A and B are shown apart, each in its own frame.
Chain A
Amino acid sequence: MTTATTTTGDRPAPADGEPVLEVRDLSVTFTTEGGTVSAVDGVDLTLGRGEIVGVVGESGCGKSVTAMSLAGLLPRSAEVTGSVELLGRQLRGAPPAQLRAVRGNEIAYIFQEPMSSLNPVLTVGRQVSEVLQVHERMSRARARERAVELLRLVGIPSPERRVRQYPHELSGGMRQRVMIAMAVACDPTVLVADEPTTALDVTVQAGILDVLRGLRDRLGTSILVITHDLGVIADVADRVVVMYAGRVVERAGVEELFVHPRHHYAAGLLSASPTPGRYAAADDRLQEIPGLVPTLAEQPDACTFADRCPAATDRCRSAAPPLAELDPGSGHEVACWHPRGSTPTTDHPAGEEDA
């Protein structure tokens, strides 16, 4: 098994392909009985061809909502604004039929719980082949043959036998491979993997991540990995987007972020995790940062992390810092008034001192 430390070195340079997915100023609010709740606020995201981008953050930070909103998978109670462009085509607000043609075909999803995300009463073969029947207009027999090939592609042994089995007859890792086979059936441009390894054993996790990397290398699939696990990010991602309370707080190449985290939240995440390349133990996640994730609605005009931040000042509580590059051309962006590693005189982003 490849360890993360060795792969980090020979990873392709970030953003080596033209952008296939561009998200601009994406916001999502949910209407509930208690009023509206903002889940995602002004998120920008770019995914290049053949690139793996990791979106990391604590549970409730809006990363999954962002992922679901890409192909219009949010419930009706969600109001989505902003722009989601796939190869130049606007998806936000597109008619349902058009979105259905994109889902599972150009944008495909892998979900967290491979048990509950597979239909318990349909054979895995059926669940894989129905995607092909819908999008590739394959006959049932042809789709079934192709399903066998796909299961083999994702590393499922004796796929001829497996296609006839039901999800509960497979192990967790095998189920997740089935999910992946389903997702890549139509050779999607973008693969969204929402916590693809969270429910799995550490050894199984590594296998699944190998499969994802292999897909990118062989098929050129662009992959968005949503996770709370920095170990996963370190293992597969080229670039990282750190989200906190519905906003992007930092964006950088993976090594840059792990070596020089500029946002205090990102730094907190890293110190709460083992060093890059080693998987976080199950009980050693991100809880070490004191305080709770606020809901965005509580602080529209403030840095959402201010209450938990060791470097917070009055300014952090009165204005939200914009996401901007620290050093022009570096590609390392951070949304912080007092980024780490800066002297007070070179205060970011406008260089102001708020003594």
Chain B
Amino acid sequence: MSVDPVLSEAPARPDGPDHASGSAAGPRRRVVRRLLHNPLAVASGLVLVVAVLVGVLAPVLAPYTAEATDFGATLAPPGTPGHLLGTDDLGRDVLSRILLGMRASLLVAVLAVVTAIGVGVPLGLVAGYFRAVDGVISRLTDLMLAFPFLILAVGLAAVRGASLGNAAIAIGIAQVPGIIRVVRSDTLRLKSLDFVAAAVVDGASDLWVLLRHVLPNATSVVLVQATVAVPAAILGEAVLSFLGLGIQPPAPSLGTMLAAAQPFAARAPWNAVMPGLAIMLLALSFNVFGDSLRDALDPRGSRR
């Protein structure tokens, strides 16, 4: 027996998530309702939708192409007619390059996170479900962790050359251990629940149990992990491109813009400030939305 419920838990305790079936419509609706009631979630969600739209439509939205130079107006300050956010040292429009750079950031982030999920989810499921391979996968995770993403990117760049794809791979591999960890622990948890045991007793194959019972229930932890992984990937891309290990100039990227702005930073600070703010806005909205999502999914209510 525990202490009186009044002390051990809030009296208005929300009911726990329904793990008894894969199609848990009730909890899902509750999560959406909770998100809609959280102003921060709504605001960050809106920013995200706009950011994704901007990313998709950037070539249409951008007033200039990324490489269009205007030598008559190099290092023009923000507010210059025709160049809302000014121009860089080659007279390229900063706004256009930021929009196209955000597109590149999102592309790399999506590639990286999809890679990480594609590799991490199966490994995590297998590690949590089959004790025999758990140790092997744990060592593999340790191994991946031992190569920080930048060092991995350095190695990849050395062996295969610097490119957008290699940057995405380096970032993606760096995120695999995190995905494995959350999926593994959720699989362990789900495996001990009655409905999985019941399926096993009914003679379902391991693959069937994993795909039909464990995987659908593990989606929420993967989703939360992904909302943490995307902003990390956006920052990672910016770092790699800044160092010259990612997207190669003159292709527009927020990271390369910052690198290019460095020598002129004192004369044209907007060149160095604007792309950074764009990165931060993207990452921040993902992080805020991710936090709200985690709160909404937490059966204990708003906690962390």
Chain A contact residues, CB within 8 Å of chain B: 30, 32-34, 37, 39, 59-65, 68, 111-112, 194-195, 198, 228, 295
Contacts and interface: CB of A to CB of B under 8 A. Distances in A.
Contact of B3 (A37, A39, A194): A194
28 contacts: A30-B11, A32-B10, A32-B11, A32-B12, A33-B10, A33-B12, A34-B11, A37-B11, A37-B12, A39-B4, A39-B6, A59-B2, A59-B4, A60-B4, A61-B4, A62-B6, A63-B4, A64-B4, A64-B6, A65-B4, A65-B6, A65-B7, A111-B3, A112-B2, A194-B3, A195-B3, A228-B1, A295-B11
Nearest to B10: A32
A198 B4 contact: no
A32 B11 CA distance: 7
B99 to A, nearest CB: 42
Interface in B8-31: 10-12
B5 interface: yes
Contact of A59 (B1, B10, B11, B12): B1
A64 to B, nearest CB: 4
A65 B10 CA distance: 13
A37 B1 contact: no
Q: Is the interface of A mostly helix, strand, loop or mixed?
A: loop
A39 B4 CA distance: 10
Given A30-B11, A37-B11, A60 B5 contact: yes
Contacts of B12: 32-34, 37
A63 B4 CA distance: 8
Contacts of B2: 59, 112
B5 A59 contact: yes
A197 B3 CA distance: 13
Contacts of B11: 30, 32, 34, 37, 295
A66 B53 CA distance: 58
Interface in B72-127: none
B6 A30 contact: yes
Contacts of B1: 59, 112, 195, 198, 228
Given A64-B4, A65-B6, 20 more contacts: A30-B11, A32-B11, A32-B12, A33-B12, A37-B6, A37-B12, A39-B4, A59-B1, A59-B5, A60-B4, A61-B4, A62-B4, A62-B6, A64-B7, A65-B4, A112-B2, A195-B1, A195-B3, A198-B1, A228-B1
